[in-house]
Every structure is written in C-alpha cells, then in structure tokens.
Structure 1
Amino acid sequence: MTDATAPPTTSELSATDIEDLDAHWRAANYLAVGQIYLMANPLLTEPLAPEHIKPRLLGHWGTSPGLNLVHTHLNRVIRQRDLRALCVWGPGHGGPAVLANSWLEGSYSETYPDISRDAAGMGALFKQFSFPGGVPSHIAPETPGSIHEGGELGYALTHAYGAAFDHPDLLVACVVGDGEAETGPLAASWHSNKFLDPVHDGAVLPILHLNGYKIANPTVLARLPAEELDSLLRGYGHDPIHVEGDDPGTVHRALAAAMDLALDRIAGHQRAARTEGATERPRWPMIVLRTPKGWTGPKEVDGLPVEGTWRSHQVPLSGVRDNPGHLRELEEWLRSYRPGELFDSSGRPTEQVLRWVPEGASRLGATPYANGGLLLRDLPVPPLTDHAVRVDKPGTVMHEPTRVLGGLLEDVMAATADRRDFRVVGPDETASNRLDALYGATGKAWQAETLPTDEHLSRDGRVMEVLSEHLCQGWLEGYLLTGRHGLFSSYEAFAHIVDSMVNQHIKWLRTSRRLVWRRPIASLNYLLTSHVWRQDHNGFSHQDPGFVDHILNKSPEVVRVYLPPDANTLLATAEHVLASRDYVNVVVAGKQPSFDWLTLDQARAHCARGVGAWEWAGTEDGSREPDVVLACAGDVPTLEALAAAGLLRRHLPELAVRVVNVVDMARLLPREEHPHGMPDAEYDALFTRDKPVIFAYHGYPWLVHRLAYRRAGHAHLHVRGYKEEGTTTTPFDMVLRNDLDRYRLVMDVVDRVPGLGVRAVGVRQAMADVRSRHHDWIREHGTDLPEVADWTWDG
C-alpha cells in the first residue's frame, strides 16, 4: 500500500459524496434481498405476485446490510487512495451481499458473462442464488474476489494475515462477525499482529462487526460493556476505532472517517518502519462497527420484533408465497430502497451508484490476490543430488530423514530470499522435527519483545511458529490462496486439530478445479513427523496416525498421501509435492535415525511408481508366483517387514517371498476411484490374486482394507498396524505391543501360507519365544534386545 500523496480527509466528503455512498449501499441491499426471495420481476416493474417468489427461501439476510456497508466504504478508499486491496468476509453466510457487490462493480458479469449487468442478468443473479443448478448461499470459490469459504466460522482473520504476509503493497480488510469472534481459532487469531512485519508484509485491517446476535442467541462481544471490549482489543495489541449507530447518514460519515483514520495510521506505521528505521511493534488499527442485525429490513413481522434481533438472521419473511400480508411487506421492503433511483430502465446501475466503485483489477471482485494462481511462480527447488544420502548397500547406514529434508528446505528458503514467496509453518516444532537447517537461510517471524536467551527470532523471518495449529493452517491457506508456496510441519498426532479446516480447504480446491477462471494454486503440503511409532518418550497422548484416514476420505482428485520409507524417498517425495498444484499432500516421515534403503535414482523411480517390489529384499526367483507377499508402508513398518524377510530367508530359505513397498497410499485404490489407483491387472500382478499378503502398515489397519476391499485378493490380505496400544516405552516395544513387529510378521506368514504351519512349527515357536524374552529384557535393561537394536540388513 502506498502513501505517496495525502488522500482527502473525510471532512472533505460533501453531502453529495455521502448520498452517493448511500445509493450504492441501498443498491447492494436491494440485490441481497432480491437474491433471497425473487425468481422473476427483478426490477419490480409489476406488482409482486406469488409466482415471482422462489418456492424455497434460503439465505441469510441478517449480516448482509453490514457487509454491504463495509464493501461500499472499501470501494471509496480503494478508489480515492489507489489501493491494492483484498477483503476476507468472515460472515461467509452473507453470500448475498458479496455477490451483490460483485455484480454492481461488473466483476461478476466479467467472470460469468451469462449474468449480465442489466435486468436480464439481475434476474439470473436472483434466480441462481440457493437454487438447483445455481450458486451456494455462502461465499464460496464461485464468488469472485473470495479466498474464504464461509460455511465454517473461525478462520477469517488468520486467512487475512496469511494473505498479507510477503505482500507489502496489499491491504487486507477482514470482516469478523461477532458470532465468529466466539470461536477458539478466531480468538487466537488476534495475536497474528505479533507476526506481521511492517517492512515486508502488507497490512490487515480487522473490522469487527457487532450486530448483536447469532442464529438464536446474543453474541458475547456485543454484550460486553464498551470499556471492557475496548480494553480486550487493546490488550490484544490493536488500536480500535469505534463506529456505532442506526441512522444511515450518521453511520456513513462515521465509518468513512474511521476508515480514513485507520488507513492513515497504517501508512504511518509502514512509513516509520520502511523509511525511518522504526523497530517497535506497531499497534495496528482496527474498526469496531456496531449496527443493527438485519438493518433496513422489516422492523416487525406478525407483531414480533425482527430488525435488530436474532429473527433477522436468515429469512425474515418466510411465508411470502402463501401469506398475502408477508408478500405485501416484502414488496414494501424492496421498494423502500427506491430501485428506480438505483437502476436505469435497462436494469444497469446508475452513475450515482457506481461513482465510488474502483476500476479494473482494483475492484474487490477482480483483484488478482483472490485468484492466487495468477500470481504464482514456480518454486526454485535445488537439485536433489546436493542433499541425497549415499547408499552403497541397503539397510546398513542410518540418517534422520527430516534432517536431510531440512537441508533441501534451507536451499529453497535461500533461493526465495528476494522474491519472498515460500514459508514454513509449524506449532513450535521446527527444531524438534529436525528442520532447523532452515535457520541458516531465515529466522522465525517475530515482532514482539526479544530477550538475550532467544534464538533465531527475526522481524523478517519466514519460518512461522505459534502453538496453535489453527493459526498455522489458516496462515498457510491464506498464503497459498494468494499465490505463494509453503509447508506445514506438525507432530502427526496433533494434525487432527485442523481436521475441519483442511476439510474446508479440500472442498475449496475441489470446487475451484471446476472453475475455468480460477488458476491453480500451490498445493497445501503437510509433513507429519514425530510419528506414532517413535513417540516413546511422550507416550500414548502423542500416538495417533489417523490423519491420513481423514484425508483419504476426501475428494480423490484433490488428496494425496505419501509414506516415504527413507531419506532419499522423502527427498524425491518433497520435490514432487512442492512442485504440485491444487492438491492437499500429506507426507508422513520419521525424524529419528532410520535405515537408508534406496539410492536417489532408485528412490525417484520408486516414488514415480508409488508402489513396487523390492527384488533385492525378497527370495522369489521369477520362475513361479511367490508363496507370500510381505507388503509395507511407512518407515518403521518397512524396517519390520525387511527384518521379517531376513528371518524368513534364514529360517525358511525354500519359501518364495516377495517384498512390496507402498509410498503412495492411493495406489491401493482401483483406478476408477482415484487418479493414482492401480488397474486390477497391475494390482493382481504385484500382490497376486490368491497368495497371502501380510501388510505392515504405518497407521490403523482398517484403512488398507478399505482401500483394497474391491480387489480379488482381499480375502487373503492380512494387515498389521497401530491398534491403540501405546505408552512411554522403547521403540521396538511399541511395534510389538501392536503386533507389527518382525517376529509377529513371521508368525503371520507361518499361519497363512498353506501347509507351512505344520512344517514350520519350530520356527513359529522360536519367534514367539523372542517376543516373550523381549518383554522381560526391556523391564530389566530399559533398552531393546541387542538383536533388534543392532540389526542391519544382511541379505
């Protein structure tokens, strides 16, 4: 945002200026009401009749007048100050308002030419709203200028800050509804101002809209005494400007003054930091706007108060088709906006209505920041050969996979130092997750007080840590949706905290992919580490591998889950996901030392396939089908499966064993159900149709069964995985407690290969004896058995 020239002050706004703002607001209100109710007669050129009314009345009126008011006044400051701006609309159920303003400014008709900016287009705009084959009632991907799905509340402000990071010329206004303000994520989001760099980032202008009610109850913040509310917001570090009233003329002038004051203060803070060297954290302004819920709508319906109450939340007049009195009240309501003054005879908005509307890409519905793919550049990922580990023989040398990845991410961070379009977020875990090499290229974003004992804090840092998964998720979503790249690193068990948020983002991506005008954005990439099998020091509370189950339930064209078994496959997977578009990629990888199995070239080929047989690990000779398939997915299950293969090689050398490793979990699905799924012929060739498959899996066993249930060999599939047996114990005891250990896998082979149970009874008993000996050993020594702790691949 620039402040090269001093903008006109609000005192210079004339009565005509205010009238023009009011005309735009009235036009937007008219269009919002029309969308909720009308399917014909959009300009009221004839008396309203029941057949003009939609058979099902859906939508939310209560918040729409306030959103229309904010949009109107944002138009004025954008035009007057030549701003680059984006608005995040927290009360997303106010879809009628944002659609109305997009139509008024012309961006809607440019995006959807069949919804023209005239009477015919107005009629189409009205009919399509919450109508079969039309558009949702919430602000959604279909809405030009939006980056925020309004169906679930709580994320508006964190999305706004994510959009502002590394966009120094951008103003992000954010309307926070007072219902939304009651959610936990939104309450934490007020602290985002401690991470906003006034030099390299844009500005966020929160607008807390207090209209007093949710669906059926009062809102907490609206009922606080004014002094208490002001103290609360100042305690969050904001500089609130209050606007209140129910007289349109008074509110227009007060809100215009508040916006000018807020923008002057923002420009002053940025000027002080950018040109004067100021380093003190700014107290950024915000606006508290208090107006009646359902303002300008019916004051009473059937003798009950509506305007200013919860009854205006959705559809104030519900029986319009069948109740002549309600129909009459609706017509009076619509005509109260004086549409004849707002639209000409052809249905086009008048010059007065459009006087303050910006032009071109400055319009909120046309800003490229809300269509981030327009701004996206390819991420410069350095050659993997700079970071790959050397593997002369499988299973003899160990590395920490995420530490190896950290070196690659450091190079990516350094390569984007000038363009500033890559960030890594995480809940206070970057170093814990072995990604601290990043600090060689950047620090941790921090604008609050620093002490001599602090490490790696930086005002312009691009690693973001805060102990709120909600903020990490929201920041990254806002960052990606406005044309940048990023990675979310988290302990595996606590990724569940954002289950609902990622669900909303997946729905957004799925819908966006069907809109030709929305350009692809960088994928949302999760690195889940500190995973279930190596939480031996934290214990049961940190042991939950179910986030991948949640993800694989979602839209197949959007979701991907990868379980690289070693450092080089993690590098190859990271190279792929960082370059991908319009996906949610979940990568699960360990941070503890683990064996290296594949060279970089082998890893790349294996990741490209997504699943494959490791011939060097099995004992089949190619002359016949294997007797058994040992399958594995995940680093610890791969270790146990290969250790089991080694035991079988030693104890049952005549057995033909095939070892199959799965990196891409979607490969287990049929091709008809997921783009990465394997055709049946390919699956059958790899896993066989009738031979036992013992599958060692990283997470809950039933996920593998669900993915493969339609396969011919499913009846022969036996999956071992996590079954909620956890505690603070040794690494090997974790797998043994869950029957995923190498000895249990050998016993499964003996039990399931026809005829082997009788011939190999001694082998089975030997495996059971080791499991029993382990139990006593760890309780005496506190460490795993030497044959486990000192194991290496000797195949």
Structure 2
Amino acid sequence: MTVEANPNDLEIVDAWWRAANYLSVGQLYLLANPLLRDPLRAEHIKRNILGHWGTTPGQNFIYAHLNRVIRAYDLDMFYISGPGHGGPALVANTYLEGTYSEIYPEIGQDVQGLQKLFKQFSFPGGIPSHVSPECPGSIHEGGELGYSLSHAFGAVLDNPGLIAACVVGDGEAETGPLAAAWHSNKFLSPVTDGAVLPILHLNGYKIANPAVLARISRRELSDFLCGCGWAPLFVEGADPPAMHRQMASAVDNAIGQIRDIQSAARSGYQTQRPIWPMIVLRSPKGWTGPQEVDGKKIEGTFRSHQVPLPSPALHHQYLPQLEEWLQSYRPAELFDETGHLHGHIAALAPTGTSRMGANPHTNGGLLLRDLRMPDFRQYAVVMRAPGDEEASNTTVLGRFLRDVIQANAGTRNFRIFGADETVSNKLNAVFETSPRQWTAPIDEQDEFLAPDGRIMEVLSEHLCQGWLEGYLLTGRHGLFNSYEAFIHIVDSMFNQHAKWLKVTLGIPWRRKIASLNYLLSSHVWRQDHNGFTHQDPGFIDHVINKKAEIVRVYLPPDANCLLSVANHCLRSKHYVNVIVAGKHPAPQWLDMEAAVTHCSMGIGIWQWASNDQEHDPDVVMACAGDVPTLETLAAVSILREHLPRLRVRVVNVVDLMKLQSGRAHPHGLDDRDFDLLFTRDKPVIFAYHGYPWLIHRLTYNRTNHNNFHVKGYQEEGTISTPFDMTVLNGLDRFHLVREVIERLPETSSETTYLGQLMEETLIRHRAYINEHGLDMLEVREWKWGAEDSGQLRDDKKLVRRI
C-alpha cells in the first residue's frame, strides 16, 4: 500500500531541508553566532574555509524525503553517501535527528552545541570534511569514490528487511567500480536479501568539468539505466515546491515497487529476475546557494563544488552575501530560543534505531556474531614424515570452507566472494554445500548457479571487494579469493577499508567488525602457463604500508599450515588478513600438531631439516612461501649431500610480520629472539615469495641485516615450466646453493666442484626444457628424504636419504 504525502507533510520536509542546509553552511563558515542572533561580523567566521557545498543541498533534500517514508512505511533503511564530499549533509541530518548528540553529548541540542558543531567541521581537532567513520550512520567514507553502490548491495545480502538508500554522484558514476556496480541487481535475491534504492544525483558537474551522465539526453540516460536492468523514476528541476512533490511521488513509488517485488517473490508468485526501481534526481549543483559571486555564476556550475564564497573573515566584502545566504533559510522559523529544532519539524525524524544515523547495520559490530567453526584439524593431510605426501593446499582448504558454509547455514552470515576464480583456485568443494548466487537466466549446461547461494562471483574484483566490504561493515563474515596478480585491481579499495579500520579503532562507540580476509592463489610461482601478465606478488608490499594494528600477512608452506592460518583469520576481528597459498599439488611438510605449533609461533626453526643442533650454524637457510620452502629444502638436501660438514639451519616464516621489530608491529620479534633464530653474524640466504626488497625493508634495523641475502621475484617470467619460473628469478635450489657457496668464509675443493656442478645443471636445465617442454626428472620427482632417481652428472646424485 502506498501512502501519499500530503501538503502539510511536504511543508515539514521543506522545513527540515532548510534546517539541514542552514547547518551545512554553518559548518563551512561559522565559528560563533550560530543562530545569527547578532549581526554577522568577521570574528564569527572561520579564517580557513574548507569543505564542499555543491553536493550538500541535494543530499539534504534526499535525506529529508527518506525520513518521511521511513515513518510512513515503517522501513528499516540507512543512507550511503556516494559523492565524495557530502560531509556537511550527513553531519547536519544526524544532528537534527538527535543521533549525533546522543553519541557526542558535548554537541548538544542547544546554542552551545550548535556552535561546537559548526566549529569542529574541517577544523584542527575536529572532524573531516567528508563523510567519515566519526559520523554516525555511515559505512562509506567520502574518499571511497566509486564504491558506494557495491557497498550497498553487500550490506543488504542476507538482510531481507533492509533497504540501503544509495546516493550515487554523477561524477562518481564515471568510475569503473560504479559502472560495474549497476549490474549487482543480477545477483540480488528478492526472497532472502534486502533491497537497494539507488538515487543517481545529477547536479551537472564534478570539481571542474561537466559530468557525463548529466550531459546526455534523458532518453539516452533512461535507455542506459533500463539496459542495466533498472526502472528509473525521474525528479528534475530547481523550484523547491515542485521538486518536493516530484520527489515524494518518486520515493513512494519506489518503495511500493520494492514491496511488491519482495512480496511476489516471497510468496512464490514471481520467479524471474525483477526489475528494481531507482531514482534519478536532477537538481542544480550548489542548489539554494549564492547565485553569483564577483559577477560569476555559482549555483548550477562547477564553481559551487567547494566553497562558493571566500572567507569573509579575510575578505569583508563577502560578509553581507554570507549573511543573506544564511538568512535565506529563515533560521528563526526553524530553531527556538534555546537552539532546539522546533518540535513539529523534529517530528519528521524516525525514532530510535529507525533513524538512519542510528541504524545498527551502520555499526556492524553491534550485530556481529561469531562464526560457527568446524574443527580444522579434521581436514588435515596425514603424513608419516616430512615430504612423503603431496596435496593441493587450496583443495584441502576448500573442504574446510565447505563446512564453514554448512555450519553457518542457519545464521546466513558467511559468504565467499571471487572474480570467477573459485574453481580455478581449487576451492571446488564449497559447491558441495552451496551454489553461486545468480538471478539472471540459467542454461542447462551451467554449473553451480541458483537464485540463492553463499558464493558470489563476478568478473570484477571491484564488485567482489565492494560487496564483501558492505557485508563485513554490516556485521557479517567473508572471504575474498583471487588470483594473486589481479588483486592489485582493488589496491585503492583496500587502502580505504584499512583506513576505515584504523580510524574506527579510535572511536569508542564503533564496534569491531569481522576481518577482511584475502586468499591469494594461482600465485606468481605457478603462473608458468599464463606468463608474465599473471605474475605479480606485490600486493603484500602494498598491504604492509598500512598501520601495523590493522594488517597481517601469512605465507603457509603447506596445507595443514593453511588450515591453521585460515581458522585463525576467519575468527579474527578488525584486521586485513592476506593469505598466500598455492593450488597445485606440492609436498606436505608438517603434520597437524606441528603445523598448529608452527603457525602459533609464526616463525621457527625446522629442526628436522637442520643439522646445527649441537653447534652454531654456518649458514641460515630461511624461507617464506610454499614454493620458496620447497626450493630451500631441495637446496639443503644438495648441501647435505655434497658438503656434509656444513652446519645448516632452516628457518621457516609463516607470519611475515614476525620479521619486523616488536616496536614496529605487534607480531614482531624482539631483537633477542630474532638473533637467536638468525644469529648475529652468520650469512642468511632467504628465499621469499615476493619482491626481495620487502624482506630487507622489514629487517633493515636488525643486528645481522647486512648478512641477509634475499632471493625472490625479480620481474622475470614467461610461458615456461614451473621450475623454470624459479630459475628465471634466481630462487631455484641451484641458485640457492650457489648463494651459500659465495657466502662461505673459505673456498675448498668441495665448494669449487659443487659450484661448477650447479652451473652445469642450470645449463642442462635450460636445454632440457627447451627440448621437452618439461622440467628435468630429478626436479619433477625430487622428494625430501628419499633417493633421487635423477642424474645430475654421471651417477652423482644430488639427494640422499636424510
């Protein structure tokens, strides 16, 4: 049933809108005299005016109308501000509805509170100029341009009663993530999910240029939106009374359509994908602000994007114009003598948690429930000795994730997101429990598709990240699996989420949310079939730039370690966890008990691979990552065969942050423990999964840093064999042996002959793969602790039983 707005309702909506506009201008300009009880003077004005006006009046207009329909239809709705700098609007509206003062009692509903509200905005010791974590009701920060719509869809997944009203700026709509996000409607279940109401705000301009969607014809725009599967409702103009009537009709219509779609689907009458409504609001940029300043048009132009008037505190000629602007909202009609919003206007706001600023979904930690977790130990790879079993690490993990999905089927608070790579990354087992969610048509030959599922896949890393962030921010859990090289596509999105986590750690009323978990597979060392384009381990470097309280990086060497790490990460809160794990069959090193111990420490000596138990080592062989671990152990076996008197210590790193000092990262080792592992003066040959300079960066202030010799990815790659990828980058076992020889204090005949043998073997490797297209037999069939069946030179074997 549609409840139409009557004229009295719209008069109240207009009064609220004027009040929000007044508060927004006050935040930009005023230090004192918040209700203009005295003539405006220069000392009442901020000297440095920072902020953005252009998008603000349109967002105030939208917020006021949404308040009305929340009350009229008893909606569970919250507001996402997509335009980059709508901060004044969201602060003003949450203040008017009372949420802001409840969270920040010092910003009271009186004259003194108004003055503090105005002063704090974009002011030292105050709040940022955009929508930020400090603002109640927000899950989306102003700097996250392009992600609003995907956040909105992530928020309503598994929230069947929720509506996310998402304001999309016309400049924002030009970004790649937003352009892809229009297609999120093909993944939304009208039965088990909530609804998204996009409101495309066309105010014509970005910071200095016209916006594309604002300059095409209405028909072309309508065709575009209809082609994306939306039913647009247009609200256009500048005259406030007419615009209020249009907007009220459009919002009522949209809510009616949403309810009809959901009712039909939930009663079983509608089985085809619905066409959801959206609103297109075309209003002037800087609406209701100054028309002209210094003879130049302001309202409706790019010049209103930031502050229309230079600071009147420094340029007194603008004082009358600012006062006229503020008085145009008739504040005396809006606020009583004490500074309270008049009761009949305040009554427009919903009450309690129905207020958009107080909606608990916008503080997702309030709703967060721990995952029900199966015992990860029951998925263990069983082995008798290190290296005697092979397994695909991610295949093993897939069986664990399958049962995580099953265990949480009732609460519907866990999903896996991926860019069409879940099968490729060998997580196939998850489809034994759940299909991919997909509401578009399904053909007979399709696999694992259904209107309701726990797996979200679309070939857009931007959408996957945005959906997952929205899901996490509203109190649920998830995992993003991706090819390692292509996770860089969301570098900026990761940045903003990490910043959100960092800031909210310092906001007492913000509750912690579930961690953002990345599983990076199909990684750099096993992209020999795809080549150079698919080889890039640099996301780790990017992640480590963020605050130590937030980021964690794990490089499990085998499946049992991966299970232990994944269990930990899925249980954790308020981190970004990056897990890098291979998908191809590989040797398994630790039984489950040893894996749990090793992962709990994050770093440790593998005594079974070392022979320095009774003496100081001559060399430390360190490794981080599954392929580097394999090559390190293969190199150790060569050294043990040919230089039996050499004392070798093997150190494996699972938690990369252990390498940092405890002063720099909470996981870091103190200097004493670091020196006990790596010694104070012995050479350390470090085989690392990614770019080698990161290890130097993490260890630069350690005692023995000058003796660290790191081998890793050197931007060398092509279509080749798996082992050749390591050879091209100097990470292979033969190059590692040469590194050891070069660092030994004395040269002997043994080391001379071994060094030459390594050179000859590398030459033979190149000739062999160029002829056969396969790695040499002694590489393919090498096993730790077993006789090697391959020949290096005559009958000289590189591997013996250890």
The equivalences for 1:399-418 within 5 A come to 399-418=391-410
Counterpart residue number, 1:570: 562
Taking the aligned partners of 2:60 and 2:485, their CA distance within structure 1 comes to 42
Q: Which amino acid aligns with 2:516?
A: L
The equivalences for 1:29-40 within 5 A come to 29-40=21-32
Counterpart residue number, 1:531: 523
Counterpart residue number, 1:599: 591
Counterpart residue number, 2:719: 728
SS in 1 for 2:356: coil
Contact kept, 8 Å, 1:175 with 1:209, in 2: the verdict is yes
Q: For the structure 1 residues 692 and 757, does the alpha-carbon distance in structure 2 shift closer, same or farther, using more than 3 Å as the test? A: farther
Taking the aligned partners of 1:350 and 1:169, their CA distance within structure 2 comes to 32
Counterpart residue number, 1:772: 763
Match for residue 65 of structure 1 among 57, 63, 68: 57
Match for residue 368 of structure 1 among 360, 371, 394: 360
SS in 1 for 2:17: helix
Q: Which amino acid aligns with 2:783?
A: T
User: Residue 756 of structure 1: CA displacement?
Assistant: 4.0
Contact kept, 8 Å, 2:643 with 2:750, in 1: the verdict is no
Residue 198 (structure 1) aligned with residue 190 (structure 2): yes
Q: Which amino acid aligns with 1:762?
A: Y
Q: For the structure 1 residues 269 and 753, does the alpha-carbon distance in structure 2 shift closer, same or farther, using more than 3 Å as the test? A: same
SS in 2 for 1:365: helix
User: Residue 562 of structure 1: CA displacement?
Assistant: 0.3
Contact kept, 8 Å, 2:49 with 2:311, in 1: the verdict is no
Taking the aligned partners of 1:577 and 1:277, their CA distance within structure 2 comes to 41
SS in 2 for 1:696: strand
Match for residue 113 of structure 1 among 105, 108, 120: 105
Contact kept, 8 Å, 2:202 with 2:282, in 1: the verdict is yes
Q: Which amino acid aligns with 2:630?
A: L
Match for residue 233 of structure 1 among 200, 225, 249: 225
How far does the alpha carbon of each residue in 1:267-300 deviate from its partner, in whole angstroms, 9 at most, with x for none? Answer: 0000010013411100000000011110110000
User: Residue 757 of structure 1: CA displacement?
Assistant: 5.8
Taking the aligned partners of 2:70 and 2:311, their CA distance within structure 1 comes to 40
Counterpart residue number, 2:4: 9
Taking the aligned partners of 2:220 and 2:766, their CA distance within structure 1 comes to 59
Counterpart residue number, 1:784: 775
Counterpart residue number, 2:380: 388
Q: How many residues are paired up?
A: 786
How far does the alpha carbon of each residue in 1:29-79 deviate from its partner, in whole angstroms, 9 at most, with x for none? Answer: 000000000111111111111111111100000000000001001111111
Counterpart residue number, 2:213: 221
Counterpart residue number, 1:440: 432
Counterpart residue number, 1:338: 330
Q: Which amino acid aligns with 1:572?
A: S
SS in 1 for 2:204: coil
User: Residue 778 of structure 1: CA displacement?
Assistant: 0.7
Q: Which amino acid aligns with 1:772?
A: I
Residue 582 (structure 1) aligned with residue 579 (structure 2): no
Match for residue 648 of structure 1 among 639, 646, 652: 639
Taking the aligned partners of 1:228 and 1:610, their CA distance within structure 2 comes to 57
Contact kept, 8 Å, 2:621 with 2:649, in 1: the verdict is yes
Taking the aligned partners of 2:720 and 2:359, their CA distance within structure 1 comes to 54
Contact kept, 8 Å, 1:243 with 1:289, in 2: the verdict is yes
User: Residue 409 of structure 1: CA displacement?
Assistant: 0.5
Taking the aligned partners of 2:269 and 2:592, their CA distance within structure 1 comes to 47
Counterpart residue number, 1:717: 708
Contact kept, 8 Å, 1:637 with 1:740, in 2: the verdict is yes
Contact kept, 8 Å, 1:751 with 1:757, in 2: the verdict is no
Counterpart residue number, 1:706: 697
Contact kept, 8 Å, 1:372 with 1:482, in 2: the verdict is yes
Identical-pair percentage: 60
Taking the aligned partners of 1:323 and 1:766, their CA distance within structure 2 comes to 80
How far does the alpha carbon of each residue in 1:230-250 deviate from its partner, in whole angstroms, 9 at most, with x for none? Answer: 111000000000001111111
How far does the alpha carbon of each residue in 1:562-611 deviate from its partner, in whole angstroms, 9 at most, with x for none? Answer: 00000000000000000000000000000000111001111111111110
Match for residue 689 of structure 1 among 657, 663, 680: 680
Moved over 6 A (4+): none
Residue 638 (structure 1) aligned with residue 633 (structure 2): no
Counterpart residue number, 1:659: 650
Counterpart residue number, 2:345: 353
Match for residue 617 of structure 2 among 620, 623, 626: 626
Taking the aligned partners of 2:140 and 2:203, their CA distance within structure 1 comes to 21
Counterpart residue number, 1:146: 138
Taking the aligned partners of 1:376 and 1:7, their CA distance within structure 2 comes to 34
Q: For the structure 1 residues 482 and 757, does the alpha-carbon distance in structure 2 shift closer, same or farther, using more than 3 Å as the test? A: farther
Contact kept, 8 Å, 2:59 with 2:86, in 1: the verdict is yes
SS in 2 for 1:242: strand
Counterpart residue number, 1:3: none
How far does the alpha carbon of each residue in 1:431-480 deviate from its partner, in whole angstroms, 9 at most, with x for none? Answer: 00001111111110101111111111010011011000000000000000
Counterpart residue number, 2:18: 26
Q: Which amino acid aligns with 1:137?
A: S
Counterpart residue number, 1:738: 729
Taking the aligned partners of 2:80 and 2:99, their CA distance within structure 1 comes to 17
Taking the aligned partners of 2:35 and 2:450, their CA distance within structure 1 comes to 57
How far does the alpha carbon of each residue in 1:298-328 deviate from its partner, in whole angstroms, 9 at most, with x for none? Answer: 0000111001111100000014113232111
Taking the aligned partners of 1:708 and 1:645, their CA distance within structure 2 comes to 23
SS in 2 for 1:371: helix
Taking the aligned partners of 2:351 and 2:472, their CA distance within structure 1 comes to 26
Counterpart residue number, 2:420: 428
The equivalences for 1:93-492 within 5 A come to 93-492=85-484
Taking the aligned partners of 2:748 and 2:124, their CA distance within structure 1 comes to 61
Taking the aligned partners of 2:314 and 2:163, their CA distance within structure 1 comes to 47
Taking the aligned partners of 1:277 and 1:751, their CA distance within structure 2 comes to 75
Taking the aligned partners of 1:92 and 1:521, their CA distance within structure 2 comes to 24
Counterpart residue number, 2:601: 609
Contact kept, 8 Å, 2:156 with 2:194, in 1: the verdict is yes
SS in 1 for 2:357: coil
Q: For the structure 1 residues 33 and 748, does the alpha-carbon distance in structure 2 shift closer, same or farther, using more than 3 Å as the test? A: same
User: Residue 102 of structure 1: CA displacement?
Assistant: 0.6
Residue 504 (structure 1) aligned with residue 499 (structure 2): no
Task: State the TM-score, normalized to the length of structure 1.
Answer: 0.98
User: Residue 758 of structure 1: CA displacement?
Assistant: 6.1
Task: State the TM-score, normalized to the length of structure 2.
Answer: 0.97
How far does the alpha carbon of each residue in 1:396-416 deviate from its partner, in whole angstroms, 9 at most, with x for none? Answer: 210000000000000011111
RMSD of the TM alignment (CA)? 0.9
Contact kept, 8 Å, 2:77 with 2:354, in 1: the verdict is yes
Taking the aligned partners of 1:49 and 1:611, their CA distance within structure 2 comes to 65
SS in 2 for 1:569: helix
Taking the aligned partners of 2:430 and 2:269, their CA distance within structure 1 comes to 26
SS in 1 for 2:201: strand
